[in-house]
Structure 1
Amino acid sequence: MVVAWYMDESQEDQRKPHQLRPNRPVNCEELRQLGVRSWKLDADSYETDPELAQIRKEENYCWMDIITIHKDKLPNYEEKIKIFFEEHLHLDDEIRYILDGSGYFDVRDKADKWIRIYMEKGDMITLPAGIYHRFTLDENNYVKAMRLFVGEPVWTPYNRPADHFEARQKLILLLNSHPEVPLSSASNSKLLAAHA
């Protein structure tokens, strides 16, 4: 399962862990309260894994591809690394499954503090639409990940500030009115309908 902690404010190399001293861990339940969900799967059998197939069916993750982030594999590597690390949000959930290597997703909590989520082989994560986040490699400088989408992929990042987007407003409403409820694309509309 993913491991997470609150980040320090250091400007040193983004690929370092950036843990507070003493460390301030964040557990999976706290992540779920932000709408972040995670699974631990068998990455070696991703092509035939029934658990992954079941998750994809339940969540309607019908589209996927595989990306390798490494200087020898990704065109425009340096530019892409900078783009990935810009604080941004998406209008759809972001779903990533680490097939090899490792890296960090950073997400903002309700108080606008950074939480760093360490992901390694076998970790799968869903970041809810509207959450401010960013991604960086760790010091291994390599990750191979499956990207999943509900429907056709939309790659557009909206750099902060982007609070005016409906996806951001919905997430804020849900976090403020139902902090204990794990969010998903399906639950968003149900909870919002209850508050309409």
Structure 2
Amino acid sequence: MGEAAKDQTEEVIQAWYLDNKEEDQKLPHHKDPKEFVSLDKLAELGVLCWRLDADNYETDEELKRIRESRGYSYMDLCEVCPEKLPNYEEKVKMFFEEHLHIDEEIRYCLAGSGYFDVRDLNDIWIRVWVKKGGLIVFPAGIYHRFTVDSDNYMKAMRLFVGGPVWTAYNRPHDHLPARKAYMKKFLKVIGDRNIDASA
């Protein structure tokens, strides 16, 4: 990703280390002082980010190119807000349980905003704030969670390879092949020991 594209993407996707306070999950939870995380660091964890034209998603050639190159054949739209999502508070709590999927999780924010939290190489939480125009891809096997922010609204496009798969595996599920593959590729872990990434 070129510097100009990265700068534009950082306008709609920002990341920082969490303060780990237990108060309202919908707050930013910055550390003091704030400790931001670059898109390059997210990429090292397998998290991919783009900025796209959310106002014209139906005709956006860049979105079409990404979908074709990555095989995202299925798409639907979901609005996470009290008015549109049945059992809203219950669902938001469920989304915030730390979990993984055996396939990629792809979310494109068409309106509103929300937080996706992921773990770094040392198992420390990073909060990723995705706003309108941000497309984010989480690799299969990464532990993560989601919450809306204090605006309580996010309209997202959900993309899948083939049909939709909704199964979430709450932590711990380190025995799953998707988790083992993620650990080997991104965390450089085999069994219970770290391996030299340069080896």
Q: Does TM, normalized by the shorter one, top 0.5?
A: yes
Distance in 2, Cα, partners of 1:119 & 1:20: 18
CA RMSD of aligned residues (A): 1.3
Aligned to 1:189: none
Question: Pairwise mapping of residues 100-119 of structure 1 onto structure 2 (< 5 A)?
Answer: 100-119=111-130
Question: Which stretches of structure 1, 4 residues or more, deviate above 3 A after TM superposition?
Answer: none
Q: Secondary structure at the match of 1:8?
A: coil
Which of 17, 23, 34 is matched with 1:12 structurally?
A: 23
Query: Which segments of 5 or more consecutive residues in structure 1 lack a partner in the other structure?
Result: 179-194
Distance in 2, Cα, partners of 1:177 & 1:87: 21
> What is the one-letter code of the residue matched to 1:5?
W
Question: Pairwise mapping of residues 63-78 of structure 1 onto structure 2 (< 5 A)?
Answer: 63-78=74-89
Aligned to 2:90: 79
> What is the one-letter code of the residue matched to 2:179?
R
Which of 54, 78, 81 is matched with 1:43 structurally?
A: 54
Q: Deviations over 1:19-67 (max 9, x none)?
A: 1111111001000000000000000000000110010000110000000
Aligned to 1:89: 100
Q: Percent identity?
A: 56
Q: Does 1:160 align with 2:171?
A: yes
Give the alignment's TM-score, normalised by structure 2.
0.88
Distance in 1, Cα, partners of 2:57 & 2:22: 36
Question: Pairwise mapping of residues 118-137 of structure 1 onto structure 2 (< 5 A)?
Answer: 118-137=129-148
Give the alignment's TM-score, normalised by structure 1.
0.89
Which of 27, 31, 38 is matched with 1:27 structurally?
A: 38
**Shift in Å, 1:177:** 4.1
Query: Which segments of 5 or more consecutive residues in structure 2 lack a partner in the other structure?
Result: 1-8, 190-198
Which of 180, 186, 196 is matched with 1:169 structurally?
A: 180
